[in-house]
Chain A
Amino acid sequence: GAVVSQHPSWVICKSGTSVKIECRSLDFQATTMFWYRQFPKQSLMLMATSNEGSKATYEQGVEKDKFLINHASLTLSTLTVTSAHPEDSSFYICSARTNRGETQYFGPGTRLLVL
């Protein structure tokens, strides 16, 4: 089946630094990628939707200048948390979908801890 990877799986950083998370579709071309944020035992909160080669569409309340999303190729999307603060500590999950609109394939997640 389709595989989505994320890197890194864990990251601890100091407050004020920026962190980049990569999301890759390993064996298929992902025309659309989604970025979610999740708190323990809670539902995934959609942050933004990105289509390859175009600007990401952010959900209401998500700061586009803080959470920079780049979807430069059909197999890679990146989320950069700029000037991270402790309240940004969370579990970030990406998912990918092909242009046929099939089911989404989820990545394993990246746990971010900002000190």
Chain B
Amino acid sequence: GQSLEQPSEVTAVEGAIVQINCTYQTSGFYGLSWYQQHDGGAPTFLSYNALDGLEETGRFSSFLSRSDSYGYLLLQELQMKDSASYFCAVRDSNYQLIWGAGTKLIIKP
């Protein structure tokens, strides 16, 4: 079956760097996306990787290795407002989104 694995919870300190990993097993691959969701809100799009390598957008970066079926989201200079759930999602060959279960990021002062 198709699946994405990511840690259920990560704890970090304000100002630090945190990496959220995502490994996937899907039929076909058209890119890995990351979404941020605050409690009660809709998921907001953060990044999309279709090719191997690192994509940087401000404090957030996303990495993809297709040969390893692996990607990660890197958050730098953590702020309290970054406390949220982060979902990775892969679009498969049928254009369907396969979602990870989400990683709850807890940031401590």
Q: Which residues of A contact B (CB under 8 A)?
A: 1-2, 9-10, 34, 36, 41-46, 93, 103-106, 108-109, 111
**B-chain residues with CB within 8 Å of residue A2 when the two chains form the complex:** 101
Q: Once the chains are docked, how many angstroms separate the CA of A93 from the CA of B97?
A: 9
**B-chain residues with CB within 8 Å of residue A105 when the two chains form the complex:** 99, 101
Q: Once the chains are docked, how many angstroms separate the CA of A1 from the CA of B45?
A: 23
**Number of interface residues, chain B, beta carbon within 8 A:** 20
Q: How far is the CB of B69 from chain A (nearest CB, A)?
A: 18
Q: Once the chains are docked, how many angstroms separate the CA of A2 from the CA of B33?
A: 20
B44 near A: Cβ within 8 Å? Answer: yes
With contacts A44-B35, A103-B85, A103-B104 taken as known, whether A108 is within 8 angstroms of B43 at the C-beta atoms is no
CB–CB B99/A106 < 8 A = yes
B94 near A: Cβ within 8 Å? Answer: yes
**B-chain residues with CB within 8 Å of residue A103 when the two chains form the complex:** 85, 101-102, 104
CB–CB A36/B42 < 8 A = yes
CB–CB B101/A9 < 8 A = no
Q: Once the chains are docked, how many angstroms separate the CA of A46 from the CA of B95?
A: 20
Q: Once the chains are docked, how many angstroms separate the CA of A105 from the CA of B104?
A: 14
Q: Closest chain A residue to B101 by CB distance? A: A1
**B-chain residues with CB within 8 Å of residue A106 when the two chains form the complex:** 87, 89, 97, 99
Map CB proximity to A onto B80-109 as digits: 1 under 8 Å, 0 otherwise: 000001010100001111110110100000
Main secondary structure of the interface of B (DSSP, over half): strand
B48 near A: Cβ within 8 Å? Answer: yes
Map CB proximity to A onto B37-79 as digits: 1 under 8 Å, 0 otherwise: 1000011110010000000000000000000000000000000
Residue among A36, A45, A46, A103 facing the most chain B CB atoms (10 A cut-off): A103
Q: How far is the CB of A111 from chain B (nearest CB, A)?
A: 6
CB–CB A43/B35 < 8 A = yes
Q: Once the chains are docked, how many angstroms separate the CA of A43 from the CA of B95?
A: 16
Top 8 closest pairs, chain A to chain B, by CB:
A108-B96, A106-B99, A43-B44, A46-B42, A43-B45, A109-B97, A44-B43, A103-B102
**A-chain residues with CB within 8 Å of residue B104 when the two chains form the complex:** 103
